[in-house]
Chain A
Amino acid sequence: IVLTQSPGTLSLSPGERATLSCRASQSVYTSYLAWYQQKPGQAPRLLIYGVSNRATGIPDRFSGSGSGTDFTLTINGLEPEDFAVYYCQQYGNSQWTFGRGTKVEIK
């Protein structure tokens, strides 16, 4: 399954809403879709699993939605620490895939 993330880069100001898209080449099995955040020099951090479930300790400004082949990560009210690269991932078959990432940068 190929995951296509858009846009490649999102330039926003603190306090604004970020909407990130992840489109799958075929339906994701049982909603096995996750989102990760990665900052430079750090390991990725799980934000959302099962399309819409926030991982432990993730603030409620992060939310996930979607089904089938179209998924969205929304960040309501960007905080300075939210500027990073975001990856979607499907884990619904034996060949997991990640999207290429969306960079959220400060405008």
Chain B
Amino acid sequence: EVQLLESGGGLVQPGGSLRLSCAVSGFTFTNYAMYWVRQAPGKGLEWVSGINGGGTNTWHADSVQGRFTISRDKSTNTLYLQMKSPRADDTAVYYCAKGLGSGWAALDIWGRGTMVTVSS
């Protein structure tokens, strides 16, 4: 069974740092692109970052470019999102999601999400 399990969310101060993890199982990790999508409380979905199957290409939304970094570790089948200098408007549930293919693709499997609250 394909499973994505996010962790690492919590309360972080503005200007601090936080690393989200997404443990993956049930499929060949390196064959698929992986993504982070967030949802602020009561709001819609916002794509955050993506990384191709081989980990050689990454994409970030303009709103997080230069502050967030996506990465993946094929030895542990884990996806990461390093958040630096978070702001109040980064407060959201962060979902990791699997792409249908190794590059740009729709998101066919989603985790349950982890909540990040940015506040002093």
Contact = CB atoms under 8 A, between A and B. Distances in A.
Contact of B108 (A56, A89, A94): A56
Interface residues of A, number: 24
B50 A46 contact: no
A36 B107 CA distance: 9
Nearest to B47: A96
B111 interface: yes
Interface string B38-59: 0000001111001000000001
Given A87-B45, A98-B44, A98-B47, A46 B107 contact: yes
Contacts of B29: none
B59 A44 contact: no
A98 B106 contact: no
The secondary-structure label for the interface of chain A is loop
B86 interface: no
A43 B113 contact: yes
A32 interface: yes
A45 B97 CA distance: 10
Of listed B44, B45, B59, residue having the most chain A CB within 10 A: B45
Interface in B43-90: 44-47, 50, 59, 61-62
B7 to A, nearest CB: 15
Interface of A: 32, 34, 36, 38, 43-46, 49-50, 55-56, 87, 89, 91-92, 94-101
Given A96-B59, A101-B45, 19 more contacts: A38-B45, A43-B95, A43-B113, A44-B110, A46-B108, A50-B106, A55-B106, A55-B108, A56-B108, A87-B44, A89-B45, A95-B47, A95-B59, A95-B61, A95-B62, A96-B61, A96-B104, A98-B46, A98-B47
